[in-house]
Amino acid sequence: MHTCSKCVMPETSESLTFDNEGVCSVCRQIEFKQTGIDWDAKRAELNEIVDPVRGKYDYDCIVPFSGGKDSTFTLLYLVKDMGLKPLVVRFDHGFMRPTLQDNAHKTFRTLGVDVQHFTPNWQVVRKLMLEALRRRGDFCWHCHTGIFSYPMWVALEKKVPLVIWGEPSAEYSSFYSYDEDEEVDERRFNSFVNLGINAEDMLGMLDDSISDYPVTERDMKPYRYPPAADLRKMRLRSICLGSYIPWDVKAQVKRVKDELGWVGDQVEGVPPEYDYEKIECFMQGVRDWTKYLKRGFARTTHLTSIDIRNGRKTREESIELVKDYDGRRPPSLDLFLRYLDITEEQYMEIVSQHAVAPHVMPTLDEVRAAGMQPKLHDYDKWSRVVGDMSKDEQAS
């Protein structure tokens, strides 16, 4: 399998291309970001977007917020550096971890912000997770779509014409690059966020194999992008802060730790030095494991590649970490299988249909021989409630 000659990302990574020197497109994008952008001019552009709405509405902007490092830094920057009054909007994907919730609580109280929290119907989420796993080998469809569409509905309802997100996708993938304008709009939503399945199509795919909850069109609204005509009428802009200031994850993590008391956490399959990455979801280990089975790499490959691009790690150091951390089954998979009421054999069979060549997916026997990752410190606090009384009573 071909791997980037600069970082350690493989050819099976979605959206990646390679030039004639064998360097991947994301490495080239980051080179352009570091040398080809006038960041003073970009910062002035940001002021030109913000100034016309500042103080004109109940809130200056909407900030979609998970509580991870990127949304926390974005909120900090907008409140403290730019003096804005945002409305924080949280879409609860169902798997938020205790440390993450403590961080959010400290952040909201320290910065002084209003917060709107939405938790979607769990039985709908279960059905969406299973169908997305079957159709795309990615059970996070409800999370991808809900996080990016629900705040837009709130912006419409609250009549706030500006939504500000954190990092642009050009930082990590090549659906967009740093030399083009990236707005978090319907084009972006349909390009890769919804995995090519819109809410109406997904509704028609659902069955009652794990829940008899009668999902209707109304249940799907949080996962559907608002009508373009309504957004245009309000002249709503939806932008990434990282398109206007140079994004530097490690510097930003230091700042949220210093100024907000934000605390890192360990994630399954990730070296402890990356205690800031994807700490918001206790299903993250399963998501990374599924990616490993399909594409032959997991989060350590991705994280160490970021460090290589920023001159913080050598390629050789990255390769050693990838050997140690990518490729072992996470304990959280047991919980995931329980939520979806499937066996590990059934899960492997579904995922195998989405494996990306030239990677060859390991067999279940090979997975078991490789051993398990250790349980995380808060593993026993993750909810075991499925919402099916017979299964919940059986497990208690």
Between 25-29, 230-234, 385-389, the lowest mean confidence (pLDDT) is in 385-389
Which pLDDT belongs to residue 286? 98
Q: What are the tens digits of pLDDT across the range 71-119?
A: 999 999 999 999 999 999 999 999 999 999 999 999 999 999 999 999 9
- Has residue 332 got a pLDDT over 90? yes
CA–CA separation, 89 vs 65, rounded Å?
A: 6
Q: Calculate mean pLDDT across residues 321-329.
A: 95
Task: Name the band, by pLDDT with cuts 50, 70 and 90, for residue 181.
Answer: confident
Q: What is the pLDDT of residue 315?
A: 97
Sign of CA dihedral 70, 12, 326, 92: positive
pLDDT band of 14, cuts 50, 70, 90: very high
Residue 396 pLDDT > 90 = no
Q: Say if residue 203's pLDDT is above 80.
A: yes
What per-residue confidence (pLDDT) applies to 255? 98
State pLDDT tens for residues 120-144.
Answer: 999 999 999 999 999 999 999 999 9
Question: Whose structure tokens read 């994008």?
Answer: 29
273-291 tens-digit pLDDT: 999 999 999 999 999 999 9
pLDDT interval class at 389 (50, 70, 90): confident
pLDDT band at 393 (very low <50, low <70, confident <90, very high): confident
- Rounded to whole angstroms, the Cα distance separating 248 from 310 reads 9
Q: Which of 181, 84, 194 is nearest to 149 (CA)?
A: 194
